[in-house]
Amino acid sequence: MLAVSSDAGLSTFQSASKKAPVRSGAYFPKSTPTNAKFEAPCEFRANLRVLLLATFAASATITLVGCGSWGHNPAEVESLRRFVSEEEMMTKFGIRKFLAGLAVLLLFVATTIVVTSSAFASPAAAPLASSLQQTQASASAAKTNTSQAKADVKAYTLPPDLYEKAVKYSRAQYILYFVDFVWGVIVLLLVLAWRLAPKYRDWAERATKVRFLQAVIFTPILLLTIAVLGLPTDMYGQWLSRSYGISVQGWASWAWDWTKGEIVSFVIGIILVWILYAVIRHSPRRWWFYFWLAALPILFFVIFLTPLVIAPLFNKFEPLETKDPALVVALEKVVHRAGMDIPPQRMFWMNESEKGNDLNAYVAGFGASKRVVVWDTTIAKMTVPETMFVFGHEMGHYVLGHVYKGLIFGAILLFILLYFGFRGMLWALSRWSGRWGIRGTDDWASLPVLLLWFAILGFLASPAANTFSRHVEHQADQYGLEVTHGLIPDSSQVAARAFQILGEVDLSDPHPNSFIKLWLYNHPPLAERVNYALTYDPWGQGKQPKFVR
């Protein structure tokens, strides 16, 4: 599936929306070759571990602040009145209610994972059995450029062994997504409960009186603390990809990529945090709006630089015309058909095979930095016509203005997150700033509170963001079908084969649950994409195509 990422300005041709390691910036699911050896864990034990983890985390969260009851125990209230003021009492009970409610939320998420995971299991075997025979040879064919010899694709289906792996792998990725969110919230609560941010603030203020230098000291330490505490889910995600043969990256290489990613986040974080607290000190009530205005050009500049500076830190890029001149000639035909000007100097080859077996292509940057990137694994496992369709899909994002629409959508989303983050931080600090050791909104130590609200609000905004992404990805699919029609023989079948290969290699879920599609999928499920490729035919109906006339 393809995705326009508002935070990275990238678009990927991928098969499912799943968490990926930070490398090239592409939001892309990992895959397994057909000969991968994997022994899946017991589903019941895996789900039970998730529930126990969330239960323990929620209980620990309550215990950290001494939260022991849901309501106001009369005896306890009377006892408290003897020793504390009414305001302190209400603060204590406010903490209890908030954290008890949060514990219920975490338990609800965990229970939802366990209950709905049964819906991810294989659908009825009857319709599947009739279609499996049609694709028995497709797994091995995905590794070679012989897809023309395969039987015509009539629907997205998988052989029995790949089907089982795809369902299990997808289910594990879904569970990891929710566990990662829950654990991220717990990490930020631990940082607040342990008063780590005030400690780091004191270090920075004792070291220098210059505010920018304080940001240089405070920001990396806090971000590194949060990142280290979040390593368990990051490492499990990498282990999961390696277990299914999707990632071939060694742990040393993965750790080095993780380190480089943190360094990049430190540099960007220092600048943003310094500006944020300068704006807060200047305008305590309107900082969210002024920071939004200040952050937009910085984020756009980062997106502009990503393909030029950041992405090469994680992967090797070379001009596509030096690696596969014949493919460039074929892609230029697509460019000419669209009436576009994408010179070969804007087409790049990326060496993904050193780190993974998955397939991808994406568009990145804008203006002078815009480019189309095709992974070497895609070139190796797809035919030239199939790669032409993939390229047409990617080109559609530029022709249809999806990159700029994604930037606008991201800016609007950031505006909303900042406003509600501002309201939420005021609410939280009015109740628990003393307990957390935070002096006020302009205190460096208030940053974890804002990050906590961003995490929660961002999670709740996922359905809206993914709905937008699925819409533009569907449009790009439509554009790819139109721009290759008549240019390559049987273009609809070529597109369907490209999706089929993508699903086989990336272990895409054949039948994702509707809730999972809404919450996690930033691309239409592959079954829908294959069906659309096979049924979209305005030419046969005597109609004009929508985008390419």
What Rg, from alpha-carbon coordinates, does the chain have?
A: 25
Query: How far apart (Å, rounded) are the C-alpha atoms in residues 23 and 306?
Result: 11
Whether 372 contacts 391, CB under 8 Å: yes
Which SS3 state, helix, strand or coil, does residue 249 take?
A: coil
Buried/exposed 223-238: b ≥16 CB within 10 Å, e otherwise? bebbbebbeebbeebb
Parallel, antiparallel or unpaired: strands 10-12 and 371-375: unpaired
What's the token pair of residue 98? 């908030």
User: In the chain, what is the greatest distance between 2 CA atoms, to the nearest angstrom?
Assistant: 86
Which SS3 state, helix, strand or coil, does residue 193 take?
A: helix
Angle between helices 196-207 and 447-460 (to 10 degrees): 130
Q: What residues are annotated to the active site? A: 394
β-sheet bridge partners, residue 4: 11
Which SS3 state, helix, strand or coil, does residue 262 take?
A: helix
Whether 406 contacts 9, CB under 8 Å: yes
Parallel, antiparallel or unpaired: strands 347-350 and 317-319: antiparallel
Query: How far apart (Å, rounded) are the C-alpha atoms in residues 90 and 96?
Result: 10
Phi then psi for residue 203, to 5 deg, are -60, -45
